[in-house]
Amino acid sequence: MSFIDDLIKTPEGRKLYEREGLIFRVTEAISIAMEQRGVNKADLARLLGTNKSHITQLLNGHQNMTLAKVAEIMLALGYRLDIAASVLEGSRQPQPSEICRAHGIKL
């Protein structure tokens, strides 16, 4: 069994795995957009009115990026980041009645 298999056995481990995975996918999308546009960290910093070290911290995952910041970065690069949700393997999908109850909707 691998480290990842052991990690995702617990709710906290699964949360950490999913969080870090999302951070990786977002920063990778930004890095690919930068590469395709021929933009380095210093260039991106100038486009966003910040400094290169701030961009480095964002792309290394050392500073939390809000969705607004992700949108701002992608816009500066001439891109839009599309997001899709997918069901986790082995997860139970809530029934429509459960969703309604959770939102205070009476059936």
- Residues 55-101: pLDDT tens digits? 999 999 888 899 999 999 999 999 999 998 888 877 766 677 777 77
Q: How far is CA 31 from CA 3, 86, 87, in A?
A: 27, 23, 26
Dihedral (CA of 53, 54, 57, 60) sign: negative
pTM above 0.85, yes or no: no
Name all domains of the chain by residue range, CATH numbers in brackets: 3-102 (1.10.260.40)
pLDDT tops 80 at residue 43 = yes
10 Å CB burial of residue 30 (0-12, 13-18, 19+) is buried
Dihedral (CA of 30, 32, 36, 39) sign: positive
DSSP 89: T
